Every structure is written in C-alpha cells, then in structure tokens.
C-alpha cells in the first residue's frame, strides 16, 4: 500500500506539468514605450485567460522583468498586437486599448472585468478615432452606422456597406479595414 502511494505521489506532479503547455498564456517578443520615450525590448506578457492585461510585463532578460501600466507606458507591441493607452471617455484613468485596425480611422477594443452572477467576466467596448486626433468615440450596435457612416462618407462603396440594413456590428472591423485600405 505504501509503495502505491509513493508511486502515485510522483505521478501527480508529472500530470500537472504535462498540462501546463496547453494552458500556457502566450507571450510574444515586442517592446514598450514609456510616456517619457524610453523603450523596453523583450518578451511581453500581455494576455490572461479571459482577455488582455491592463498591466503588462516585459521580460528583458532571465533576471529582469519590468511591469508596464497605462499611466507610465503609452504604447506596447507584442508580436502583431498593439496596445495604446488613453483616458477612458467619461473616466479619470488611463487604460490600454487594443488596436484592431488603423489608417485614416483607428478601431480599438477596450476590455474590462466586472463581477456578474458570482463570477468575474470580461466585457469589451469598441472605440474609434481619426488620424491626428486623440479623441475616442464609443461605438455600440445602436450608433455605429451613424458614427462610422459620417467618417466613411467620402468612399461610396464603404458608405453603402455601412448603411445597408443587414450590416451587423460584428462587421465593424472588416468595414473599417476596407475603408483604410482604399483611402
């Protein structure tokens, strides 16, 4: 009986370690730019299981890791993912916004956590800004056709797409990407 217990004790840690790579949170090479203009290069830990982090870590080498928050860092790039810090409209805090597409019009996703029905859930809000402006405009399924329609009015094809009756909010990134490619 004791032999079986000791053997089982060795199997448990091995099974836990075997599961770690499947549950690993991705880290990618990139950089972070501080509000002072300093740049950190290294492996960026930007995700968690339910979305992206508002405080990201950059591992510079084996012994050095720096925490980057949106008050001290304005821009983070991790692989192909770009995060910029802005004040949340109507709020007092700077947060990281995930750049989904950019050009003449920039589309951002802002994620935040809230407690709902005894669990923590991640919610998303979408914002746009135009090139040269720092002002973010919140979009939702009720206002996106009007707000985006005003910005894409100079492109008949995209303007027609956004105003079509069957255009869904979920097509927003595709529409803005198309507009940016054509302008």
Length of the chain: 183
Judge residue 176's burial from the number of C-beta atoms within 10 Å of its C-beta, 0-12 exposed, 13-18 middle, 19 or more buried: buried
Confirm whether 175 is domain-assigned: no
Residue 63 to residue 97: CA distance in whole angstroms: 29
- Whether the pLDDT of residue 23 is over 70: the answer is no
pLDDT score at 17: 37
Query: Looking at residues 61-89, what average pLDDT do you find?
Result: 93
Tell me the residue range of the domain where 86 lies: 25-95
Confirm whether 170 is domain-assigned: no
Tens-place pLDDT, residues 126-182: 999 999 999 999 999 999 999 999 999 999 999 999 999 899 999 999 999 999 999
Confirm whether 105 is domain-assigned: no
- Whether the pLDDT of residue 75 is over 90: the answer is yes
Confirm whether 72 is domain-assigned: yes
User: Of residues 47 and 42, which shows the higher confidence score?
Assistant: 42
Give the angle subtended at the CA of 125 by the CAs of 80 and 79, to the nearest 5°: 10
Confirm whether 107 is domain-assigned: no
Confirm whether 146 is domain-assigned: no
Q: What SS3 class is residue 136?
A: coil
- Whether the pLDDT of residue 15 is over 90: the answer is no
Supply 137's token pair: 């405009």
pLDDT score at 9: 40
User: Of residues 74 and 119, which shows the higher confidence score?
Assistant: 74
User: Of residues 1 and 45, which shows the higher confidence score?
Assistant: 45
Q: CATH code at 43?
A: 2.30.30
- Whether the pLDDT of residue 21 is over 60: the answer is no
pLDDT score at 53: 85
Q: What domain count does the chain have?
A: 1
Pick left, alpha or beta for residue 79 (phi over 0 → left; psi -120 to 50 → alpha; otherwise beta).
left
Which residues have a Cβ under 8 Å from the Cβ of 66 and sit 6 or more positions away? Answer: 32, 40, 57, 58, 60
User: Of residues 6 and 22, which shows the higher confidence score?
Assistant: 22
Q: Which residue has the tokens 């597409």?
A: 101
Query: Looking at residues 17-45, what average pLDDT do you find?
Result: 79
**DSSP H helical ranges for 25-128:** none
| Mean pLDDT, all residues of the chain | 86
Confirm whether 138 is domain-assigned: no
Judge residue 4's burial from the number of C-beta atoms within 10 Å of its C-beta, 0-12 exposed, 13-18 middle, 19 or more buried: exposed
Q: What SS3 class is residue 50?
A: coil
Confirm whether 10 is domain-assigned: no
Instruction: Judge whether 71 and 87 are in contact, CB under 8 Å.
Output: no
Q: How confident is the model at residue 8 (pLDDT cuts 50, 70, 90)?
A: very low
């Amino acid at each position: 009986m004791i032999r079986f217990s000791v053997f089982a004790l060795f199997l448990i840690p091995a099974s836990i370690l075997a599961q770690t790579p499947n549950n690993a949170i991705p880290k990618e090479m990139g950089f972070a730019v501080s509000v002072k203009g300093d740049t950190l290069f290294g492996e960026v830990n930007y995700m968690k299981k339910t979305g992206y982090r508002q405080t990201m870590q950059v591992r510079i080498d084996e012994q050095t890791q720096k925490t980057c928050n949106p008050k001290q860092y304005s821009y983070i790039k991790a692989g192909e993912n770009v995060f910029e810090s802005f004040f949340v409209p109507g709020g007092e805090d700077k947060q990281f916004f995930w750049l989904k597409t950019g050009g003449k019009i920039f589309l951002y996703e802002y994620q935040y956590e809230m407690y709902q029905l005894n669990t923590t859930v991640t919610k998303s809000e979408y914002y746009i800004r135009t090139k040269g402006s720092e002002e973010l405009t919140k979009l939702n399924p009720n206002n996106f056709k009007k707000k985006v329609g005003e910005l894409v009015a100079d492109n008949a094809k995209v303007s027609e797409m956004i105003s079509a009756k069957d255009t869904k909010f979920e097509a927003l990134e595709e529409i803005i990407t198309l507009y940016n490619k054509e302008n």
